[in-house]
Chain A
């Protein structure tokens, strides 16, 4: 079942109240095979009067749906446009969406990209983007996510995952190491991504053992939600509206790059990992742990497994299978990929029992504690 195919992966992070509309309109144009994951997006709530003096969490969380699917390269832009238009994502506060190019390396024959007929949409200006993904222990997500909020970059998305790695090589003592992880995703302009990554490493203390993992991944284009605060504002327009308007006039976000303005704290020279690959295995619910075990014995260091729901039409041949799916993301080196793929295929990852699908994307820069 091997083939190397370049496809567009579209990921939309939208408020749960509007995800139904978007799903319906995607179905209409022929995007029928997609994945849904539950997430939350924190925003800063500006407190008024004496409430501002009270201690406590000043973040409020909105329920978010992460809609992700693969489409053929040529319909990537129209589908992106459609989502922005239907979800009105060009208005701050409703959600983000972006596309990226990935390699569909191996997959069960029923788990391929969507191939909708080409259609025309209104043209909406996109931004150039880079993604930052950070995986930390459950409970530590808020502080890392705050970096994006405090710098006004974008509204982050957080979802839960289960980590495997060192933990699974230990005996019963592994219960002392929590497996629950929080995965923070943000997208920002390529000019800012590295600065943000640096700040997140600082805040999340990722240079200490067992704290987490962070990596950059290239995106193509999209639109991001920048409404990082909620509450009454005292001006004619909120700052997010002003920024969105200037972006519109300038035709991009380069005018507000942070690299020159944000003070680089300490400017440590870090040993970044470069030239890695994010190998994501999508498979049926319940099969992820075993498959990750197979991949780990073939060289992968560990994985983060997140739960998804598969959305497909009722007449799909897959509708007999449970909609529960798992996404196992493994960061590996280029030359490990072949071995892992072989091992997975041998373990039956692409048969009817797992319905596996492997997506590869470049990870130009990553960081974690590597030991002294």
Chain B
């Protein structure tokens, strides 16, 4: 080897450029090919179909460039560093270690994977409209016990990876695992359907399964499994290293449902909002919050004024008294509002009633001044340093936490040296860099775009308020209001405002005018664009949008791209990446459309989850082991960093317009449909192959029969 190093080829600068240029070009083009559809589609839909200008277009454009650049680095890093590292450990582990050690390693790795790529923030976003009186258990899991939720998901993933390793070791089929797990999960879900508290967390539990497996975990676990499978098992066995992702999507559902069942006894039943805050229920309701002050804070920020009064024993005076106390007593204030000295005042302006504001500020004059001061600084600039630091931490944490145990095992337990060190380290660096850039890009570009389209989307079937274009007009004078008349003789009021460089007529609504502060809050409205309010045509547009969005976003998903390439590699090209991607993307599209239907018509989740999973059991039985492993695994990888924020933005946009409590469940449905589509494709391909093979035998048999005559 040393001899070889001595004979290293010297590459001149121009030669290096000649090598690098096509290399970089190919990879960038590859990523552009994977994201162009979803981006152009979102832009097209917002500007042409919905007819709304894209806000912050320049920032979004920068974000999209960053997404492409980040994805390029990330994917290249996966193939150079992370996956070879995982495969190496997979190859060496069974040779130099015993099963119990491998299982411990698997448990730790699975657990760390969950901590490294925390899906919990995503779920908290999905559940931000969840309130403690309608869904106490769900509220508890998402706020006070969110860390326990993460640990239970982590335990689920750990158990799953360990079972995956046992399975490879003994060459077991994936099918029995699927039957048992799906059967168990469906029974639990149906049981949960009849308990008001458990019902609320089924969506969360199934979504946990869908989001746990992120873009770093999936390739790593795949590579590890492939490495192990190459070394163990007999030559004839069909296992190739897939299937762990499936288990890692199913086990967390189980652990979260069990956690819910365990906590069930300690939470109150769902009740009316006002009852929830009454003193007689205080003993059970207070357990949902960190402490007494936590509950006060929640009451002030999130509850209606009636509930706030109910919390203070039904007496408005006591509430006002309490607020006055807060504004005077600093230690009490920090206990409730935190360290920011202005937090109470800001709350009063944003959430308080007039009386509450008065009690905080002391005089009407101070209130007026404060209002104009706090409400003019609405627009926020992009905080670049914060953005950089936050996303770098995310990237380093995700990759560091996952590769650290691998390195430890490799150096300490297996006592192996790292082959091609420079390549693997460069790969890991690319992954971290890529993930950082990519997350910034998502935040600046895709998230923003998704949120804009998502919140405007319901305008296709109902009237919505465009909160993005909400304005506070200060010093509003009611004398400006003019009147007009409709053909039906109804008298209407409006006024002119100068927005940008145009004079725009705006309908006048008395309720939006605050005579004390002389402010007019104006929120432009839009829709319904297709047909009348709530018409099927408009909803159909939304469903179609959801389908195409799911399809496009899936094609851009990095974990699925990695899975597709791995499948193509291991099947020697007989199962092409493009076929897998198309099948999965169509499945996700259908799933997301169904998920939107769930929100629009408020269909119980179990009705949408049970039938496809029940249908999957016979289909799984009919399919070959190869397709079962690939099909079920693709379900786990579909919901990644591109799909999830878009789906949530859309789900929440529609949910808030039609008044649905939580946006859970769409991701779970989007995970089950691709299994169906991939297995269906698999059955068709296999049938054709078998037919081609038996066709010649059939004709030959007929020939020999004729020969006999």
Binding site for B on A (CB under 8 A): 15, 17-18, 20, 23, 36, 38-40, 60-64, 88, 91-94, 141, 158-160, 166, 168-177, 227, 230, 241, 285-286, 289-290, 293-294, 296-297, 307, 309-311, 322-324
Q: Are B1 and A171 in contact (CB under 8 A)?
A: no
Question: Can you list 25 contacts pairing A with B, beta carbon distance less than 8 Å?
Answer: A38-B572, A39-B572, A40-B574, A61-B574, A91-B696, A92-B696, A93-B695, A93-B696, A94-B693, A94-B697, A158-B573, A160-B569, A160-B572, A171-B422, A175-B23, A176-B20, A176-B23, A285-B91, A286-B92, A289-B419, A293-B1, A293-B4, A297-B1, A310-B235, A323-B234
Among residues of A, the one whose C-beta sits closest to the C-beta of B425 is A172
Q: How many residues of B contact A (CB 8 A)?
A: 45
Q: Contacts of B236 on A, CB cut-off 8 Å?
A: 20, 23, 36, 311
Q: How far is the CB of B97 from chain A (nearest CB, A)?
A: 13
Q: Contacts of B426 on A, CB cut-off 8 Å?
A: 172, 175
Q: How far is the CB of B618 from chain A (nearest CB, A)?
A: 22
Question: In the complex where A17-B690, A172-B423, A324-B231 touch, is A166 in contact with B9 (Cβ < 8 A)?
Answer: yes
Question: In the complex where A172-B426, A177-B19, A322-B94 touch, is A93 in contact with B230 (Cβ < 8 A)?
Answer: no
Known: A61-B576, A324-B231. 20 other contacts (CB 8 A): A17-B690, A38-B570, A61-B574, A64-B572, A91-B700, A93-B693, A160-B573, A170-B9, A172-B426, A176-B19, A176-B23, A227-B696, A286-B92, A289-B419, A290-B1, A294-B1, A297-B1, A311-B235, A322-B232, A324-B91
Among residues of B, the one whose C-beta sits closest to the C-beta of A314 is B234
Bound CA–CA A293/B690 (angstroms): 43
Specify which of A40, A93, A168 is in contact with B692 (CB 8 Å cutoff): A93
Q: Are B11 and A297 in contact (CB under 8 A)?
A: no
Bound CA–CA A59/B372 (angstroms): 70
B470 sits at the interface (CB 8 A): no
B400 sits at the interface (CB 8 A): no
Q: Contacts of A159 on B, CB cut-off 8 Å?
A: 572
Q: Are A169 and B695 in contact (CB under 8 A)?
A: no
Q: How far is the CB of B385 from chain A (nearest CB, A)?
A: 31
Q: Contacts of B422 on A, CB cut-off 8 Å?
A: 171-172
Specify which of A20, A23, A40, A293 is in contact with B573 (CB 8 Å cutoff): A40
Bound CA–CA A91/B19 (angstroms): 48
Q: Are A173 and B572 in contact (CB under 8 A)?
A: no
Q: Contacts of B1 on A, CB cut-off 8 Å?
A: 290, 293-294, 297
Question: In the complex where A158-B572, A160-B569 touch, is A36 in contact with B9 (Cβ < 8 A)?
Answer: no
Bound CA–CA A173/B234 (angstroms): 38
Q: How far is the CB of B692 from chain A (nearest CB, A)?
A: 6
Q: How far is the CB of B61 from chain A (nearest CB, A)?
A: 29
Among residues of A, the one whose C-beta sits closest to the C-beta of B688 is A60
Bound CA–CA A93/B700 (angstroms): 12
Q: Contacts of A92 on B, CB cut-off 8 Å?
A: 696
B16 sits at the interface (CB 8 A): yes
Q: How far is the CB of A106 from chain B (nearest CB, A)?
A: 21
Question: In the complex where A94-B696, A175-B423, A297-B3 touch, is A62 in contact with B574 (Cβ < 8 A)?
Answer: yes
B8 sits at the interface (CB 8 A): yes
B654 sits at the interface (CB 8 A): no
Q: How far is the CB of B85 from chain A (nearest CB, A)?
A: 14
Sort A-B residue pairs by CB-CB distance and give the 8 closest, nearest first: A309-B235, A176-B23, A322-B231, A297-B3, A176-B19, A311-B235, A63-B574, A61-B574
Q: How far is the CB of A353 from chain B (nearest CB, A)?
A: 11
B571 sits at the interface (CB 8 A): yes
Q: Contacts of A169 on B, CB cut-off 8 Å?
A: 4, 7-9
Q: Are B230 and A324 in contact (CB under 8 A)?
A: yes
Q: Contacts of B695 on A, CB cut-off 8 Å?
A: 93
Bound CA–CA A160/B19 (angstroms): 23
B689 sits at the interface (CB 8 A): yes
Bound CA–CA A289/B28 (angstroms): 30
Q: Contacts of B585 on A, CB cut-off 8 Å?
A: none
B95 sits at the interface (CB 8 A): yes
Q: Contacts of A60 on B, CB cut-off 8 Å?
A: 688
B507 sits at the interface (CB 8 A): no
> What 1/0 flags go to B211-240 for Cβ under 8 Å of A?
000000000000000000011111110000
Q: How far is the CB of B121 from chain A (nearest CB, A)?
A: 34
Q: Are A61 and B232 in contact (CB under 8 A)?
A: no
Q: Contacts of B690 on A, CB cut-off 8 Å?
A: 17
B616 sits at the interface (CB 8 A): no
Q: How far is the CB of A328 from chain B (nearest CB, A)?
A: 15
Q: How far is the CB of B312 from chain A (nearest CB, A)?
A: 67
Q: Are B571 and A63 in contact (CB under 8 A)?
A: yes
B80 sits at the interface (CB 8 A): yes
Q: Contacts of A286 on B, CB cut-off 8 Å?
A: 91-92
Q: Contacts of A310 on B, CB cut-off 8 Å?
A: 235
Q: Contacts of B91 on A, CB cut-off 8 Å?
A: 285-286, 324
Q: Contacts of B233 on A, CB cut-off 8 Å?
A: 323
Q: Are B697 and A88 in contact (CB under 8 A)?
A: yes
> What 1/0 flags go to B529-573 for Cβ under 8 Å of A?
000000000000000000000000000000000000000011111
Q: Are B696 and A40 in contact (CB under 8 A)?
A: no
Question: In the complex where A40-B572, A297-B3 touch, is A173 in contact with B19 (Cβ < 8 A)?
Answer: yes
Q: Contacts of B20 on A, CB cut-off 8 Å?
A: 173, 176
Q: Contacts of A141 on B, CB cut-off 8 Å?
A: 573
Q: Contacts of A241 on B, CB cut-off 8 Å?
A: 699
Q: Contacts of A174 on B, CB cut-off 8 Å?
A: 423
Among residues of A, the one whose C-beta sits closest to the C-beta of B7 is A169
Q: How far is the CB of A371 from chain B (nearest CB, A)?
A: 14
Bound CA–CA A3/B217 (angstroms): 49
Among residues of A, the one whose C-beta sits closest to the C-beta of B88 is A286
Q: How far is the CB of B88 from chain A (nearest CB, A)?
A: 9
Among residues of B, the one whose C-beta sits closest to the C-beta of A294 is B1
Question: In the complex where A172-B422, A172-B423 touch, is A61 in contact with B693 (Cβ < 8 A)?
Answer: no
Q: Contacts of A311 on B, CB cut-off 8 Å?
A: 234-236
Among residues of B, the one whose C-beta sits closest to the C-beta of A15 is B693
Bound CA–CA A289/B420 (angstroms): 11
Q: Are A175 and B80 in contact (CB under 8 A)?
A: yes
Bound CA–CA A175/B697 (angstroms): 48
Bound CA–CA A342/B492 (angstroms): 100
Q: Contacts of B230 on A, CB cut-off 8 Å?
A: 285, 307, 322, 324
Q: How far is the CB of B565 from chain A (nearest CB, A)?
A: 10
Question: In the complex where A38-B572, A160-B569, A323-B234 touch, is A173 in contact with B693 (Cβ < 8 A)?
Answer: no
Q: How far is the CB of B509 from chain A (nearest CB, A)?
A: 56
Question: In the complex where A38-B571, A40-B573 touch, is A171 in contact with B11 (Cβ < 8 A)?
Answer: yes
Q: Contacts of B574 on A, CB cut-off 8 Å?
A: 40, 61-63
Q: Contacts of B419 on A, CB cut-off 8 Å?
A: 289
Bound CA–CA A310/B235 (angstroms): 6
Among residues of A, the one whose C-beta sits closest to the C-beta of B578 is A57
Q: Contacts of B19 on A, CB cut-off 8 Å?
A: 173, 176-177
Q: Which of B4, B92, B419, B569 has the most CB of A within 10 A?
A: B4
Q: Contacts of A18 on B, CB cut-off 8 Å?
A: 693
Specify which of B11, B572, B688 is in contact with A170 (CB 8 Å cutoff): B11
Q: How far is the CB of A330 from chain B (nearest CB, A)?
A: 15
Specify which of A39, A173, A175, A324 is in contact with B11 (CB 8 Å cutoff): A173
Bound CA–CA A23/B234 (angstroms): 13
Q: Contacts of A227 on B, CB cut-off 8 Å?
A: 696
Bound CA–CA A176/B19 (angstroms): 6
Q: Contacts of A160 on B, CB cut-off 8 Å?
A: 569, 572-573
Among residues of A, the one whose C-beta sits closest to the C-beta of B4 is A297
Q: Which of B3, B234, B574 has the most CB of A within 10 A?
A: B574
Q: How far is the CB of A199 from chain B (nearest CB, A)?
A: 22
Q: How far is the CB of A223 from chain B (nearest CB, A)?
A: 14
Q: Contacts of A285 on B, CB cut-off 8 Å?
A: 91, 230-231
Bound CA–CA A173/B16 (angstroms): 7
Question: In the complex where A172-B422, A285-B230, A324-B230 touch, is A91 in contact with B572 (Cβ < 8 A)?
Answer: no
Question: In the complex where A176-B23, A177-B19, A311-B235 touch, is A63 in contact with B572 (Cβ < 8 A)?
Answer: yes
Q: Are B95 and A322 in contact (CB under 8 A)?
A: yes
> What 1/0 flags go to B79-94 for Cβ under 8 Å of A?
0100000000001101
Q: How far is the CB of A127 from chain B (nearest CB, A)?
A: 18
